[in-house]
Each structure stands twice: as C-alpha cells, then as structure tokens.
Structure 1
Amino acid sequence: MAYDPYGYGSQDPYAQSYSQQPVQQHHYYGSAPVAAPTNGMATASMICGIIGFFACGLTSILAIIFGHVAQSQIKRTGEGGSGMAVTGLILGYLLTVGWIVFWFLYILGLAMFAAETGSTTTY
C-alpha cells in the first residue's frame, strides 16, 4: 500500500474502504395510500342526530333513516364513516324515544289536569 502525502486517497486500486457504507436509494412508485372517503349519508345521520336535540326531535327520524342507508352503503362500497352512522343511529333512536315519552307524559298530564278540574263542583 502506498503512502499518499497529498491526501488524495489510497494509491492501491484494490484497497477497500470500510468506513463508507453503500448508499441505498429507495424508489417509491405511485402515491401514498389514500384513506377511504367518508360516506355522506353517515355525516348527514350524525348531524341530524345532533340537531335533533335542538329541533325537538324532528330531525331524529331523518338521523335513523340516513344511518341505516349509510350502513348499507358502507358495507357495499367499503367507504369510511361507519362510526358516524352508528352515532347518528344511536342519537336518532334515543331522541325519538325520549321525545315520544315526553309528549306522552305531557298529554297524559294535561288530560289528568283537565279531568281533575272538570269533575269537581262546589255546588
């Protein structure tokens, strides 16, 4: 092996340099994986379920309908949004049952009040 006084590297053509590792180049063809699009009916179901709190349960029926349609579309197409569809269904059913119970008790209370005030006479 020859001595290099000028620092140009080894003069030995068969000498190996162990300090440098070979550079590996990675070639990625195509694009990054893309998440499945969210189903629009699932989004509508969840929004209608949330709005049902403020709209006296009027949109909760729509939340139930949109939720069931969204779940069938998600199973068929593989789109995302299953959690939103389930959330819309749960909110829709809870609000629908809650408002039905509320209106039943309200009407029952009115009927009991009317029956009580109409049946008593002081004469």
Structure 2
Amino acid sequence: MSYPPPPGGWHDPSGNGPQSGPPADPTLPIGGNPIPTQPTPADPYAPADPYAGMKSADPYAAPAYPAGDPYAAGGYPPAAHPAYAQPAGRTNGLAIAALVLSLLGVTSCITAPIGAILGHVALRQIRERGESGEGMAKAGIIVGWVLTGLMVLGFGLFLVALANDNTGSSY
C-alpha cells in the first residue's frame, strides 16, 4: 500500500507504512523544553475549604463529613411574606342549621333541642366526610342543650308554682 492512506482511513496491515515516535507530551510547549514556573501563592481572600482535611486519595472511598451540623451556621432567610393557610373545605350545612336553630331556641323553646340533635348529626358527618364546621356544630350542641335544660327547669318551676297556688280559689 502507498502513503498517504486511501480515503477510507484504512491502515496498512503489512506494517510497511511510515513509522512515528511516541506522542508528544501536551503539557510541554512546542520544542519540548519545560517553562520554569513560580508556585502560585494562596489567595488570602478565598473562602476556607471546610472539607480540606477530609479528602481521600481513593476516589471511590466513602466521603467523610465534618462533625456537627453543616447546615446550622447558614440557615435560611426569613420568608418575604407570611404563609397563607390552606383554604378550608366545604362547611357542613347541618352544622349551620344546628347553630341557627339552637340560637332561635331563646325565643321559641322548641327549636333548641332540635338544634342540639342536629349538632350531633353534623359532628358525625364532619368526621366521616372531612368537612369544616366542627365549631358551629359544637356550639349548636352546647347552646341547644343549655337552653333545653333551662326550658325544662322553667317549666318545672311553673308547675310547682301552680301546685302551690294559695290564692284561695276553689274549683
């Protein structure tokens, strides 16, 4: 085969082609003589390497970490604005009705126990469905039973007063 190689890039299998020496060292300048250099002084303004003493000669060795918490010194800056709470879910309708009927029990005595019972049903639904309105349901229960108790107490006192009527009237 002849020199230069043919356009396919095939080499001469017989070994009769031109021979070359070992490849040149890429770190040396042209001509092969090394340039004498001064050692680079350390930068006094460079930050200290926290992992300087922990570097291993074995690149596959497990990394060594400094003692203590590496995140304790820096921390994160405070938030630019306050975080907002996640919007509440749907409010249970029975909880609203329980509170309204319990409060109406002040003027109409019959709605207070209905509001208290609706409050119990609303609490059960809230726990099952994950809805909001637990505070309204509890308020409906408390107000409803308190007003119902006051109503029963007042009705009992009214009956006692009728039984002890000493006006002298006879039937």
What band does the TM-score fall into relative to the shorter chain?
A: 0.5 to 0.7
Choose from 88, 101, 122 the match for 1:48: 101
TM-score of the two chains, using structure 2 as the length reference: 0.47
- Greater RCO structure (CA 8 Å; 6+ sep): 1
Q: Return the structure number with greater helix share.
A: 1
CA displacement at 1:35 relative to structure 2: 2.1
Determine the C-alpha separation between the residues in 2 that align with 1:34 and 1:83.
Answer: 16
Report how many aligned residue pairs link the two structures: 86
Over aligned residue pairs, what C-alpha RMSD do you find? 1.8
Q: Shift in Å at residue 103 of structure 1?
A: 0.5
Structure 1 regions of 5+ residues with no counterpart?
Answer: 1-32
Q: CA offsets, 1:34-91, max 9 Å, x none?
A: 4201000000000001100011x21011111110100000000110000000000001
Q: 1:1-32 deviations in whole A, cap 9, x for unaligned?
A: xxxxxxxxxxxxxxxxxxxxxxxxxxxxxxxx
The 2-side partners of 1:118 and 1:54 are apart by 32
Q: Could you tell me the TM-score, scaled by structure 1's length?
A: 0.65
- Identity across the alignment (%): 35
1:58 aligned to 2:110? yes
Amino acid aligned to 2:135: G
- Within the candidate set 91, 96, 101, 2:143 is matched to 91
Q: Which runs of 4+ in 1 moved over 2 A?
A: 116-119
